[in-house]
Amino acid sequence: MCGYATRAQKQLAPYLKKLLPHWLCCQHDVYADVSAVAVSAFDALFAEKKQ
């Protein structure tokens, strides 16, 4: 997910409205692996200034 998100960047923008709620839920998943991947992809895609 992280690799896809960083490569897609601006092309991902039209889909963020539908993708973001699921992405945020994944960041708080009970499985540590799932939440770690979701958080790292989010951090890679959005600069700290934009969060």
pLDDT of 5 above 70: no
Token duo for residue 31: 């499985």
Q: Are 38 and 31 in contact (CB under 8 A)?
A: no
Domain boundaries, the chain: 2-45
Q: Are 40 and 7 in contact (CB under 8 A)?
A: no
pLDDT for residue 51: 52
Q: What would the pLDDT profile of 13-38 be if each residue is shown by its tens digit?
A: 788 889 889 989 999 999 999 999 99
pLDDT of 50 above 60: no
Q: At what angle do helices 32-45 and 16-27 cross, to 10 degrees?
A: 140
pLDDT for residue 4: 64
